[in-house]
Each structure stands twice: as structure tokens, then as C-alpha cells.
Amino acid sequence: MSWFIKKRQQKIAVEAKTVRVPEGLWVKCEACRELIYRAELANTHNVCPKCGYHFRIGVDERLENLMDDGYETLFSELQSADPLNFVASKAYKDQLKRLKDEGQDQDAVVIVEGTLSGHPVVMGVMNFDFLAASMGSVVGEKLKLGAERALAKKCAYIIVSCSGGARMQEGTLSLMQMAKVSAALAKLDMAGLPYFSILTDPTTGGVSASYAMLGDLNIAEPKALIGFAGPRVIEQTIKQSLPEGFQRSEFLQAHGMVDRVVPRDKLKDWVAACLAWMLPVREA
């Protein structure tokens, strides 16, 4: 009968072996799992000094990396509406209000005008912290206005993309932004003004299917995830396993979808060199 009696297991005390890390002082690299001193990351543009992994960075840091001092923010008054009265797990208007209360009052893209190594440019930087940088009406409108500003100023236009795709909370309206921004970019093309697309991790969905791939130069940060649908969806659809590194910058460069993979610390100089080649330096 002893088989049926549950014997009390002797508990073995396991000493916690985890090393307590002072919060905020160290960061664990998502690629190589090494601990990195946070102050060190500030010197490397948030790139892991051990393996070169590019951490995702915010809009302010991106602008600091790419633009010269003294740039001006444009079209910040535009705010998303809630045209569909969208309610899924959370009400869209509550999400927008919460983000605004947190100080995110620019929707998912910030447009600035200024200079990049002396070259006048208009630049749009997408903000992943705002609903995964999803492309809604305001994102599309601001990017279109940015293109028109570059056209009026006869300067280059640069969009730094990262996005989860179209903003489902705005339904079809968000899909229409793909065509609207693409049409505005076509006007720049007709005027002979350069448009550079900088693709960062992750650039997916409707953004990758429109303006992010329309650059005169499509430049990507190393190992960024770039694609339309996720790899699992593709595998299930085509019933084949995908090759190693599929949908990463290097793979796209090897297959002609991206012109150049440029590390973050070289990005500004590289863009400036291309601008110098395409446009003469003028007084800002």
C-alpha cells in the first residue's frame, strides 16, 4: 500500500545563484547575452561593443546621431482622431490619451528640418514607442507634408523607418497612407530631389511595402528585421522552410532589396557623402 501513499519529498534548499545587478547600470545584450556597462553604450551609439548588436533607439537619440544641432520640429500640432470608434482589447482613444499624458504628443513620427553635415534636409523619424510606430492617418499626413516641405525647399528628404505596419485601429484609412506618401515621394522624384530611406529594426507591414522601399537609396542598419509578413506566416503559406537570416538587412542586401547595410556609427558620414554626391552644399 505504500505505493499509493505519497511520500513527502525532501526539499533541497537551492541557494540563489543569480547575481544581483544594480538596476539601470548594466544592460544585457539581446544578441550575445553579455552584460554591458550602460555608460559604455552611450559612447557606441547604443551598439553592443562585444557583438555589434544595434539596440533600438528613440527619436531624440536618432536625431542627435544624424542631424546637426539647431533643427526645427515641424507639423507637431497634428493629432490622431478615432474615426472608427475602435474598441478591441482597449479603446483606441484611451490609448491615444494615455500616450499624450506620457508626453508622447507627436504621434508615431517626428518631422524635422535642419542640416545633416551642412546639407539642408527634411527628416522624418518614426517612433516605435508610440503604438509600435504603426502607420495611421497622422503618420501618413506628416510624412506627406515632410515631402512637400523638402520639395518647397529643394532639399533632400530622409525617412528613418521602423514600424509594425499599418495602424489597424484606423482601418482602411491607414492603408491609404501608403499611396498618399508614395505619391508625394513621386513628386520629389520628378523634381530631381533625392529621397533616402533608412530602415531600422523592425520595419514591417505596410511601411516596408511602401515608402520604406522607395528610396533613391535604401539604407539599412545591420541585422534589422525588414519584411512584409512574419516568417511563420510565410512558411505556412508557401509550405517551405526559409533560409538562414531571411528578412534581415544583410540578406536583403545580398538579394538586391537594400542598397547598403551601414553601421550606426558610420551612418551620418555615409548619408552626408551620398548627399554631397547628389546635391551641392548650399547655405542653410
What residues make contact with Zn ion under the rule CB under 5 A?
29, 31-32, 48, 50-51, 53
Categorise residue 229: left if φ over 0, alpha if ψ from -120 to 50, beta otherwise. Answer: beta
226 neighbors 205 (Cβ within 8 angstroms)? no
Minimal distance, residue 54 CB to Zn ion, in Å = 10
Which of residues 25 and 179 has its CB atom nearest to Zn ion in the complex?
A: 25
Which of residues 200 and 208 has its CB atom nearest to Zn ion in the complex?
A: 200
Which of residues 41 and 212 has its CB atom nearest to Zn ion in the complex?
A: 41
Minimal distance, residue 103 CB to Zn ion, in Å = 30
Which of residues 31 and 42 has its CB atom nearest to Zn ion in the complex?
A: 31
Minimal distance, residue 49 CB to Zn ion, in Å = 8
Which of residues 29 and 220 has its CB atom nearest to Zn ion in the complex?
A: 29
Minimal distance, residue 109 CB to Zn ion, in Å = 29
DSSP 108-155: TEEEEEEEETTEEEEEEEE-TTTGGG-B-HHHHHHHHHHHHHHHHHT-
Q: For residues 230-239, b (16+ Cβ closer than 10 Å) or e, as one string?
A: eeeeeeeeee
DSSP 227-269: ESS-HHHHHHHHTSPPPTTTTBHHHHHHTTSSSEE--HHHHHH
Minimal distance, residue 55 CB to Zn ion, in Å = 9
